[in-house]
């Protein structure tokens, strides 16, 4: 199982001396099976952090490592779920989930078994032969999550995975992800704009400053979740009503508000 580590990571886009500094000395350790959400103002470099962990982007200086190995390129130990579901429209749900498994060169009967359990995990069994355009946004994102889970990656990198969904579907998916995290805990780096989502889902929430992004504060949600027994509530609105939840959410909101630019964005 995986851990993710950012050590003294800086990122400049463009020429070293005249480029745009996007990230400034990012240090963050995500432990095995820990769920960490990053929140921060638009453009502060959240996605860039995730892309570096995925191996799509290299740090200008510093090290990003997964399970102790320095990330230099994408690899099967990491699965990425994007806001846009990135499914192949001409392939069925089953074939979309099968794609990564084919790259692993697994025999067909073993792939079929894994696909069946991923379909079950995400309640997609009755849609296995459907094409993406026949599914709602929420269902398409379930397929993208199933495709990530079926690969059994060491870490899951999720970039605003529910950002394109309507509010109600988003809540269903958040509850679903919490269920998954309980039955099948993974190491997750999760990027979001939504403070409530971060507090509801994450063990810890890292708050970034505006660009050049630094980690300003890390909030330990897990201790409070456990102390206040949030997991005894199955509905997100019941958790969101709790004083302990409201307190954390407000704290993060205030911290983010301090980072707004002169135009309030
Ligand atoms: N490949 C690139 N080349 C040049 N600049 C880039 C590149 N990728 C990102 N940037 C810039 O880096 C900054 C940080 O981008 P990034 O997408 O990481 O921010 P973010 O915090 O995820 O933003 P948002 O919340 O709006 O999605 C932005 O100003 C963006 O324009």
| pLDDT tens sequence across 67-84 | 999 999 999 899 998 887
Q: Which of 21, 24, 47 to mutate to test the pocket of ligand 1 (most atoms within 8 A of CB)?
A: 47
Q: What pLDDT, on the 0 to 100 scale, is given for residue 48?
A: 96
Q: What is the pLDDT of residues 205-217, one digit of tens each?
A: 999 999 999 999 9
Q: Please name which of 236, 148, 145, 238 lies closest in space to residue 194, comparing C-alpha atoms.
A: 236
Count Cα neighbours of 55 within 13 Å in the Cβ-side half-sphere. 16
**Residue 85 is assigned to a structural domain of this protein:** no
Q: What is the CATH number of the domain that holds 161?
A: 3.40.50.300
**Residue 252 is assigned to a structural domain of this protein:** yes
| 51: its two tokens | 């892309």
Q: What pLDDT, on the 0 to 100 scale, is given for residue 262?
A: 52
Q: Whose CA is nearest to atom 13 of ligand 1?
A: 43
**Residue 124 is assigned to a structural domain of this protein:** no
Q: Ligand 1, closest atom to CA 14? A: 4
**Residue 18 is assigned to a structural domain of this protein:** yes
Percent of residues, the chain, with pLDDT higher than 70: 97
Q: What is the distance of C-alpha 231 from the center of its chain?
A: 20
Q: Which of 14, 46, 163, 265 to mutate to test the pocket of ligand 1 (most atoms within 8 A of CB)?
A: 46
Give the count of domains, the chain: 1
Tell me which residue range forms the domain holding 16: 4-77+153-257
**Residue 235 is assigned to a structural domain of this protein:** yes
40 Cα–ligand 1 center, Å: 12
157 bridge partner residues:
80, 189
Residue 229 falls in which region: left (phi positive, over 0), alpha (psi -120 to 50) or beta:
left
**Residue 129 is assigned to a structural domain of this protein:** no
**Helix %, strand %, coil % of the chain (to 5):** 40, 25, 35
Q: Whose CA is nearest to atom 31 of ligand 1?
A: 43
Q: What is the pLDDT of residues 99-147, one digit of tens each?
A: 888 888 889 999 999 999 889 888 899 999 999 999 988 889 889 988 9
Q: Could you give the ipTM of this predicted complex?
A: 0.96
151 Cα–ligand 1 center, Å: 28
pLDDT-derived band of residue 172, with 50, 70 and 90 as boundaries?
Answer: confident
**Residue 229 is assigned to a structural domain of this protein:** yes
Q: What pLDDT, on the 0 to 100 scale, is given for residue 261?
A: 61
- What mean pLDDT value characterizes the chain? 91
Q: Which of 9, 13, 19, 163 to mutate to test the pocket of ligand 1 (most atoms within 8 A of CB)?
A: 13
Q: What is the pLDDT of residues 20-36, one digit of tens each?
A: 999 999 999 999 999 99
26 bridge partner residues:
9
**Residue 26 is assigned to a structural domain of this protein:** yes
Q: What pLDDT, on the 0 to 100 scale, is given for residue 241?
A: 94
């Amino acid at each position: 199982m995986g851990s993710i580590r950012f050590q003294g990571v800086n990122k400049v886009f463009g020429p070293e001396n005249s480029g745009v500094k996007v990230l400034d000395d990012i240090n963050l350790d995500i432990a095995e099976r820990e769920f960490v959400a990053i929140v921060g103002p638009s453009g502060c470099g959240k996605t860039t952090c995730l892309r570096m962990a995925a191996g799509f982007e290299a740090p200008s200086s510093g090290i990003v490592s997964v399970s102790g190995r320095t990330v230099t390129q994408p690899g099967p130990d990491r699965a990425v779920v994007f806001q846009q579901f990135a499914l192949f429209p001409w392939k069925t749900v089953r074939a979309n989930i099968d794609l990564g498994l084919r790259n692993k060169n697994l025999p067909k009967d073993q792939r079929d078994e894994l696909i069946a359990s991923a379909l079950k995990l995400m309640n997609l069994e009755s849609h296995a032969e459907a094409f993406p355009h026949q599914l709602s946004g929420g269902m398409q994102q379930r397929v993208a999550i199933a495709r990530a889970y079926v690969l059994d990656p060491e870490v899951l990198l999720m970039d605003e995975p529910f950002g394109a969904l309507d509010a109600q579907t988003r809540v269903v998916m958040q509850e679903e992800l919490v269920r998954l995290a309980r039955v099948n805990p993974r190491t997750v780096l999760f990027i979001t704009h939504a403070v409530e989502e971060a507090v509801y889902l994450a063990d810890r929430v890292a708050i970034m400053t505006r660009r050049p992004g630094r980690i300003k504060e890390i909030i330990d949600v897990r201790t409070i979740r456990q102390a206040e027994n949030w997991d005894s509530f199955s509905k997100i609105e019941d958790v969101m009503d709790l004083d302990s939840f409201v307190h954390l959410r407000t704290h993060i909101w205030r911290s983010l508000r301090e980072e707004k630019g002169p135009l309030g964005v």
